[in-house]
Amino acid sequence: MKSLTKELWMDVPARRQIVSIHHQVEKLVKDSGVKEGLCLVNAMHITASVFINDNEPGLHQDFEKFLERLAPHEPVSQYAHNGYEDNADAHIKRQVMGREVVVAITEGKLHLGPWEHIFYYEFDGRRKKRLLVKIIGE
């Protein structure tokens, strides 16, 4: 059994932003030497998400509009969590978009559908954040 564990650090300057991490994850799979196995990609912050979907800017705008309607940032007084911080909406948005993804590795490559792409979605940025990539297999 082979394994690779890597933390990816990033600084997202915007409060909310979708960042492609697809090519970084592909490179880590290649570097791991795993031919058949699984790749976990996990947002290590409770105000961020990792998700798989189409790499299409219009869809990303739709996510932003949908999530903001579902859990608007303002007024911050609408949330009980917002005493010390103003990020309750970020916690809710993360619950909707999910914490992590697990992707099969087949023949040394991510086994994804034709339009599937891996993203990190930051909901409360403006500081360093990290992701965990864990690859296991043969």
pLDDT digit string, tens, across residues 3-57: 999 999 999 999 999 999 999 999 999 999 999 999 999 999 999 999 999 999 9
Over pLDDT 90: what percentage of the chain? 96
What structural domains does the chain harbor? 2-137 (2.60.120.460)
β-bridge pairing 2-12 and 17-20: unpaired
How many CA atoms lie within 13 Å of 122's alpha carbon, on the beta-carbon side? 21
Whether residue 84 is predicted with pLDDT greater than 80 in this model: the reply is no
Q: Which residues pair with 42 in a beta bridge?
A: 100, 132
**What pTM does this model have?**
0.95
Could you give the angle at the alpha carbon of 11 between the alpha carbons of 6 and 79, nearest 5°? 105
What does the pLDDT average to over 125-135?
Answer: 95
